[in-house]
Amino acid sequence: MTSTTDRNDVTAMTGPTGPTGPTHPTDRTDLTVLGETMASLTPDHIGPLRHARGLGLSVAGSESTVAIGAARLGHRAAWIGRVGDDELGRTVLNRLRGENLLVHAVTDPEAPTGLMLKERPAAGHSRVHYYRAGSAGSRLHPDDLPGPLLERTRVLHTTGITLALSDSARTTAHEAMRRTRAAGGTVSFDLNHRARLWSKDTARAALTAVLPLVDLLFASVDEAVMVTGRPDLTPAQTGQQLLSHGPGTVVLTDGAAGAVCITADRTIPVAAVPVQAVDPVGAGDAFVAGCLSGFLAGLTTEEALARAAAVAALCVASEGDWEGLPEPDRLPQAAHRPGTVLR
Protein backbone atom coordinates (compact mmCIF):
# COMPACT_ATOMS: atom_id res chain seq x y z
CA MET A 1 0.00 0.00 0.00
CA THR A 2 1.15 3.50 -0.69
CA SER A 3 -0.16 6.77 0.65
CA THR A 4 -0.28 9.42 -2.04
CA THR A 5 -0.90 13.13 -1.92
CA ASP A 6 -0.60 14.75 -5.32
CA ARG A 7 2.00 17.54 -5.65
CA ASN A 8 -0.69 19.91 -6.88
CA ASP A 9 -2.80 19.02 -3.85
CA VAL A 10 0.08 19.79 -1.49
CA THR A 11 0.54 23.14 -3.21
CA ALA A 12 -3.18 23.83 -2.89
CA MET A 13 -2.95 23.29 0.85
CA THR A 14 0.36 24.90 1.68
CA GLY A 15 1.48 27.21 -1.13
CA PRO A 16 0.33 30.57 -2.47
CA THR A 17 -2.74 30.33 -4.70
CA GLY A 18 -3.74 33.94 -5.11
CA PRO A 19 -5.47 36.60 -3.01
CA THR A 20 -8.02 34.22 -1.47
CA GLY A 21 -5.83 31.13 -1.27
CA PRO A 22 -3.77 29.70 1.57
CA THR A 23 -0.50 31.46 2.29
CA HIS A 24 1.02 29.50 5.17
CA PRO A 25 1.55 25.77 5.84
CA THR A 26 -0.39 25.96 9.10
CA ASP A 27 -3.54 27.44 7.55
CA ARG A 28 -6.57 25.38 8.52
CA THR A 29 -8.67 23.37 6.13
CA ASP A 30 -12.34 24.28 6.40
CA LEU A 31 -13.73 20.78 5.86
CA THR A 32 -12.19 17.31 5.79
CA VAL A 33 -14.27 14.26 4.87
CA LEU A 34 -13.53 10.59 5.45
CA GLY A 35 -15.10 7.78 3.45
CA GLU A 36 -15.22 5.64 0.34
CA THR A 37 -15.57 7.19 -3.11
CA MET A 38 -16.46 4.72 -5.85
CA ALA A 39 -16.41 4.77 -9.59
CA SER A 40 -19.95 5.20 -10.92
CA LEU A 41 -21.59 3.97 -14.12
CA THR A 42 -24.83 5.53 -15.37
CA PRO A 43 -26.81 4.49 -18.47
CA ASP A 44 -27.19 6.99 -21.27
CA HIS A 45 -30.98 6.85 -21.35
CA ILE A 46 -34.02 6.33 -19.15
CA GLY A 47 -35.44 2.81 -19.03
CA PRO A 48 -34.43 -0.73 -18.06
CA LEU A 49 -30.69 -1.07 -17.59
CA ARG A 50 -30.54 -4.12 -19.86
CA HIS A 51 -31.45 -1.90 -22.80
CA ALA A 52 -28.72 0.67 -22.18
CA ARG A 53 -26.60 1.44 -25.22
CA GLY A 54 -23.80 3.01 -23.23
CA LEU A 55 -22.68 3.85 -19.71
CA GLY A 56 -21.19 7.14 -18.52
CA LEU A 57 -18.27 6.98 -16.10
CA SER A 58 -18.17 9.25 -13.06
CA VAL A 59 -17.50 8.92 -9.31
CA ALA A 60 -19.82 8.70 -6.32
CA GLY A 61 -19.52 8.83 -2.57
CA SER A 62 -21.56 10.50 0.14
CA GLU A 63 -18.63 12.14 1.89
CA SER A 64 -16.87 13.32 -1.26
CA THR A 65 -20.15 14.82 -2.53
CA VAL A 66 -20.27 16.93 0.63
CA ALA A 67 -16.65 17.98 0.12
CA ILE A 68 -17.24 18.91 -3.53
CA GLY A 69 -20.28 20.94 -2.54
CA ALA A 70 -18.28 22.86 0.05
CA ALA A 71 -15.36 23.42 -2.32
CA ARG A 72 -17.63 24.84 -5.02
CA LEU A 73 -18.98 27.29 -2.47
CA GLY A 74 -15.49 28.58 -1.77
CA HIS A 75 -14.27 26.48 1.15
CA ARG A 76 -10.99 24.60 1.41
CA ALA A 77 -12.01 20.95 1.51
CA ALA A 78 -10.10 17.68 1.76
CA TRP A 79 -10.92 14.00 1.24
CA ILE A 80 -9.33 11.03 3.03
CA GLY A 81 -9.88 7.55 1.63
CA ARG A 82 -8.56 4.45 -0.14
CA VAL A 83 -8.75 3.38 -3.76
CA GLY A 84 -7.50 0.35 -5.63
CA ASP A 85 -4.36 0.43 -7.75
CA ASP A 86 -6.49 0.36 -10.88
CA GLU A 87 -7.97 2.60 -13.54
CA LEU A 88 -11.15 3.17 -11.56
CA GLY A 89 -9.07 4.31 -8.60
CA ARG A 90 -7.19 6.74 -10.81
CA THR A 91 -10.54 7.99 -12.12
CA VAL A 92 -11.67 8.72 -8.56
CA LEU A 93 -8.49 10.61 -7.70
CA ASN A 94 -8.50 12.63 -10.91
CA ARG A 95 -12.15 13.67 -10.52
CA LEU A 96 -11.72 14.72 -6.89
CA ARG A 97 -8.57 16.68 -7.67
CA GLY A 98 -10.39 18.28 -10.57
CA GLU A 99 -12.95 19.57 -8.08
CA ASN A 100 -10.17 21.32 -6.13
CA LEU A 101 -10.13 18.89 -3.21
CA LEU A 102 -7.00 18.18 -1.23
CA VAL A 103 -6.73 14.42 -1.74
CA HIS A 104 -5.09 12.16 0.82
CA ALA A 105 -5.42 8.70 -0.70
CA VAL A 106 -4.00 5.31 0.15
CA THR A 107 -3.56 3.27 -3.02
CA ASP A 108 -4.24 -0.37 -2.17
CA PRO A 109 -2.80 -2.95 -4.60
CA GLU A 110 -4.64 -5.81 -2.87
CA ALA A 111 -8.25 -4.63 -3.33
CA PRO A 112 -10.27 -3.06 -6.16
CA THR A 113 -11.91 0.33 -6.22
CA GLY A 114 -15.60 0.11 -5.35
CA LEU A 115 -18.20 0.50 -8.07
CA MET A 116 -21.73 1.91 -8.13
CA LEU A 117 -24.14 1.21 -10.98
CA LYS A 118 -27.01 3.67 -11.25
CA GLU A 119 -30.23 2.71 -12.98
CA ARG A 120 -32.82 5.23 -14.22
CA PRO A 121 -36.03 3.24 -14.68
CA ALA A 122 -38.21 6.36 -15.08
CA ALA A 123 -37.80 10.12 -15.26
CA GLY A 124 -36.97 11.56 -11.86
CA HIS A 125 -36.28 8.13 -10.36
CA SER A 126 -32.98 6.36 -9.76
CA ARG A 127 -31.98 3.00 -8.35
CA VAL A 128 -28.41 2.14 -7.38
CA HIS A 129 -26.50 -1.13 -7.16
CA TYR A 130 -23.25 -1.35 -5.19
CA TYR A 131 -20.21 -3.54 -5.84
CA ARG A 132 -18.10 -2.68 -2.83
CA ALA A 133 -17.67 -5.85 -0.75
CA GLY A 134 -13.94 -6.23 -0.11
CA SER A 135 -13.20 -2.94 -1.86
CA ALA A 136 -10.18 -0.78 -1.13
CA GLY A 137 -12.46 1.75 0.52
CA SER A 138 -13.73 -0.86 2.95
CA ARG A 139 -10.15 -1.46 4.10
CA LEU A 140 -9.70 1.99 5.68
CA HIS A 141 -7.30 1.73 8.61
CA PRO A 142 -6.33 4.18 11.39
CA ASP A 143 -2.80 4.24 9.95
CA ASP A 144 -4.30 5.90 6.85
CA LEU A 145 -5.17 9.05 8.81
CA PRO A 146 -2.95 12.08 8.18
CA GLY A 147 -2.47 13.59 11.63
CA PRO A 148 -1.55 17.14 10.55
CA LEU A 149 -4.61 17.41 8.31
CA LEU A 150 -6.99 16.39 11.09
CA GLU A 151 -5.31 18.72 13.53
CA ARG A 152 -5.82 21.67 11.16
CA THR A 153 -9.38 21.04 10.00
CA ARG A 154 -12.26 23.16 11.23
CA VAL A 155 -14.85 20.44 10.53
CA LEU A 156 -14.52 16.69 10.01
CA HIS A 157 -17.46 15.01 8.27
CA THR A 158 -18.15 11.32 7.86
CA THR A 159 -21.22 9.06 7.74
CA GLY A 160 -22.81 5.83 8.82
CA ILE A 161 -21.80 4.39 5.46
CA THR A 162 -18.16 4.46 6.52
CA LEU A 163 -19.04 2.78 9.81
CA ALA A 164 -20.91 0.04 7.91
CA LEU A 165 -18.10 -0.83 5.49
CA SER A 166 -15.97 -2.85 7.93
CA ASP A 167 -14.69 -3.01 11.49
CA SER A 168 -11.45 -1.31 10.45
CA ALA A 169 -13.31 1.50 8.68
CA ARG A 170 -15.45 1.99 11.79
CA THR A 171 -12.38 2.13 14.01
CA THR A 172 -10.77 4.61 11.62
CA ALA A 173 -13.81 6.90 11.73
CA HIS A 174 -13.86 6.84 15.54
CA GLU A 175 -10.15 7.67 15.66
CA ALA A 176 -10.53 10.53 13.19
CA MET A 177 -13.36 11.98 15.27
CA ARG A 178 -11.37 11.77 18.50
CA ARG A 179 -8.33 13.43 16.92
CA THR A 180 -10.39 16.21 15.40
CA ARG A 181 -12.15 17.02 18.66
CA ALA A 182 -8.90 16.86 20.62
CA ALA A 183 -7.48 19.50 18.26
CA GLY A 184 -10.49 21.78 18.76
CA GLY A 185 -12.33 20.92 15.54
CA THR A 186 -16.02 20.13 15.05
CA VAL A 187 -17.29 16.66 14.10
CA SER A 188 -20.19 16.47 11.64
CA PHE A 189 -21.88 13.11 11.07
CA ASP A 190 -24.69 11.90 8.81
CA LEU A 191 -26.46 8.69 9.87
CA ASN A 192 -26.87 7.76 6.18
CA HIS A 193 -28.17 4.26 6.86
CA ARG A 194 -27.65 1.75 4.04
CA ALA A 195 -29.70 -1.37 4.77
CA ARG A 196 -27.76 -3.45 2.26
CA LEU A 197 -24.49 -2.93 4.14
CA TRP A 198 -25.56 -4.16 7.58
CA SER A 199 -28.52 -5.29 9.64
CA LYS A 200 -30.81 -2.80 11.37
CA ASP A 201 -29.80 -4.05 14.84
CA THR A 202 -26.07 -3.76 14.07
CA ALA A 203 -26.59 -0.33 12.56
CA ARG A 204 -28.61 0.92 15.53
CA ALA A 205 -25.94 -0.18 18.01
CA ALA A 206 -23.02 1.24 16.01
CA LEU A 207 -24.72 4.54 15.21
CA THR A 208 -25.82 5.06 18.80
CA ALA A 209 -22.28 4.32 20.02
CA VAL A 210 -20.74 6.99 17.79
CA LEU A 211 -23.06 9.82 18.87
CA PRO A 212 -20.97 10.92 21.89
CA LEU A 213 -18.18 11.81 19.42
CA VAL A 214 -20.49 13.96 17.25
CA ASP A 215 -21.11 17.72 17.51
CA LEU A 216 -23.45 18.20 14.52
CA LEU A 217 -25.70 15.32 13.48
CA PHE A 218 -27.63 15.00 10.20
CA ALA A 219 -30.24 12.35 9.47
CA SER A 220 -33.47 11.77 7.62
CA VAL A 221 -36.49 11.42 9.89
CA ASP A 222 -36.73 7.71 8.99
CA GLU A 223 -33.08 7.11 9.87
CA ALA A 224 -33.46 8.94 13.16
CA VAL A 225 -36.50 6.83 14.07
CA MET A 226 -34.55 3.68 13.20
CA VAL A 227 -31.89 4.68 15.75
CA THR A 228 -34.25 5.85 18.51
CA GLY A 229 -36.80 3.10 18.01
CA ARG A 230 -39.58 5.65 18.74
CA PRO A 231 -41.87 6.11 15.73
CA ASP A 232 -44.46 7.67 18.05
CA LEU A 233 -42.41 10.86 18.53
CA THR A 234 -42.53 14.05 16.50
CA PRO A 235 -39.36 15.01 14.59
CA ALA A 236 -38.58 17.62 17.26
CA GLN A 237 -38.95 15.03 20.02
CA THR A 238 -36.85 12.56 18.03
CA GLY A 239 -34.16 15.21 17.73
CA GLN A 240 -34.22 15.73 21.50
CA GLN A 241 -33.73 11.99 21.98
CA LEU A 242 -30.65 12.10 19.78
CA LEU A 243 -29.30 15.18 21.58
CA SER A 244 -29.31 13.19 24.80
CA HIS A 245 -26.59 10.93 23.36
CA GLY A 246 -24.10 13.76 22.87
CA PRO A 247 -24.55 15.93 19.74
CA GLY A 248 -25.07 19.63 20.34
CA THR A 249 -27.19 20.08 17.21
CA VAL A 250 -29.40 17.68 15.24
CA VAL A 251 -30.72 18.42 11.74
CA LEU A 252 -33.48 16.12 10.49
CA THR A 253 -34.57 16.15 6.84
CA ASP A 254 -37.90 14.95 5.50
CA GLY A 255 -37.83 15.33 1.72
CA ALA A 256 -40.43 17.71 0.33
CA ALA A 257 -41.62 18.43 3.88
CA GLY A 258 -38.36 20.28 4.55
CA ALA A 259 -36.12 19.95 7.57
CA VAL A 260 -35.89 20.84 11.22
CA CYS A 261 -32.88 21.83 13.32
CA ILE A 262 -33.01 20.89 17.01
CA THR A 263 -30.76 22.22 19.77
CA ALA A 264 -31.16 22.09 23.53
CA ASP A 265 -33.12 25.36 23.63
CA ARG A 266 -34.89 25.75 20.28
CA THR A 267 -36.34 24.07 17.21
CA ILE A 268 -35.95 25.72 13.80
CA PRO A 269 -37.97 24.51 10.76
CA VAL A 270 -36.90 25.11 7.17
CA ALA A 271 -39.07 24.66 4.10
CA ALA A 272 -37.87 22.67 1.11
CA VAL A 273 -37.33 24.63 -2.11
CA PRO A 274 -39.85 23.46 -4.76
CA VAL A 275 -38.04 21.96 -7.73
CA GLN A 276 -38.60 19.58 -10.63
CA ALA A 277 -36.33 16.72 -9.62
CA VAL A 278 -34.24 15.25 -12.41
CA ASP A 279 -32.04 12.98 -10.29
CA PRO A 280 -32.85 12.69 -6.57
CA VAL A 281 -29.68 10.78 -5.65
CA GLY A 282 -27.36 13.08 -3.73
CA ALA A 283 -30.05 15.38 -2.33
CA GLY A 284 -29.20 14.61 1.30
CA ASP A 285 -25.48 15.11 0.79
CA ALA A 286 -26.13 18.37 -1.05
CA PHE A 287 -28.21 19.56 1.90
CA VAL A 288 -25.34 18.72 4.28
CA ALA A 289 -22.84 20.52 2.04
CA GLY A 290 -24.97 23.66 1.98
CA CYS A 291 -25.57 23.60 5.71
CA LEU A 292 -21.89 23.11 6.57
CA SER A 293 -20.99 25.85 4.09
CA GLY A 294 -23.38 28.20 5.83
CA PHE A 295 -21.90 27.47 9.24
CA LEU A 296 -18.34 27.82 7.93
CA ALA A 297 -19.28 31.15 6.33
CA GLY A 298 -20.62 32.50 9.62
CA LEU A 299 -24.31 32.50 8.68
CA THR A 300 -27.00 32.21 11.31
CA THR A 301 -28.55 28.81 11.80
CA GLU A 302 -31.67 29.89 9.89
CA GLU A 303 -29.57 31.18 7.01
CA ALA A 304 -27.41 28.06 6.93
CA LEU A 305 -30.53 25.91 6.72
CA ALA A 306 -31.92 28.07 3.92
CA ARG A 307 -28.64 27.69 2.04
CA ALA A 308 -28.82 23.92 2.57
CA ALA A 309 -32.31 23.75 1.08
CA ALA A 310 -31.24 25.84 -1.92
CA VAL A 311 -28.15 23.71 -2.60
CA ALA A 312 -30.19 20.49 -2.37
CA ALA A 313 -32.78 21.82 -4.81
CA LEU A 314 -30.16 22.91 -7.34
CA CYS A 315 -28.41 19.55 -7.07
CA VAL A 316 -31.48 17.39 -7.77
CA ALA A 317 -32.44 19.59 -10.71
CA SER A 318 -29.43 18.16 -12.59
CA GLU A 319 -28.28 14.66 -13.42
CA GLY A 320 -25.58 13.14 -11.25
CA ASP A 321 -24.91 12.92 -7.52
CA TRP A 322 -22.73 16.04 -7.41
CA GLU A 323 -22.49 17.51 -10.90
CA GLY A 324 -25.30 20.00 -10.21
CA LEU A 325 -23.84 21.32 -6.96
CA PRO A 326 -23.80 25.11 -7.30
CA GLU A 327 -21.15 27.77 -7.10
CA PRO A 328 -22.00 30.95 -5.13
CA ASP A 329 -23.39 32.88 -8.08
CA ARG A 330 -26.20 30.33 -8.44
CA LEU A 331 -27.38 30.67 -4.85
CA PRO A 332 -30.26 32.97 -3.88
CA GLN A 333 -28.99 36.25 -2.44
CA ALA A 334 -30.56 35.39 0.93
CA ALA A 335 -28.17 32.46 1.27
CA HIS A 336 -25.14 34.78 1.53
CA ARG A 337 -25.98 36.93 4.55
CA PRO A 338 -23.48 36.62 7.39
CA GLY A 339 -24.71 36.44 10.93
CA THR A 340 -23.81 34.64 14.13
CA VAL A 341 -21.93 31.37 14.03
CA LEU A 342 -23.75 28.25 15.22
CA ARG A 343 -20.82 26.96 17.20
Q: Which residues are marked as active site?
A: 285
Alpha-carbon Rg of the chain, whole angstroms?
19
CA–CA distance, 59 with 124 (Å, rounded to integer): 20
Task: Please give the C-alpha separations between residue 99 and each of 196, 260, 308, in angstroms, as whole numbers.
Answer: 29, 30, 20
CA–CA distance, 137 with 32 (Å, rounded to integer): 16
| Beta bridge partners of residue 328, listed in sequence order | none
Task: Mark 39-77 as b/e (b = at least 16 C-beta within 10 Å).
Answer: bbbbbeeeeebeebeeeeebbbbbbbbbbbbbbbbebbb
Residue 126 · residue 120 · CB < 8 Å: yes
| Beta bridge partners of residue 60, listed in sequence order | 38
Residue 143 · residue 171 · CB < 8 Å: no
For residue 29, the surrounding DSSP H or E stretch is strand 29-34
The two beta strands, 259-262 and 249-253, are antiparallel
Angle at 301 between CA 23 and CA 151, to 5 degrees: 35
- Closest to 63 in 3D by CA, of 142, 141, 161, 151: 161
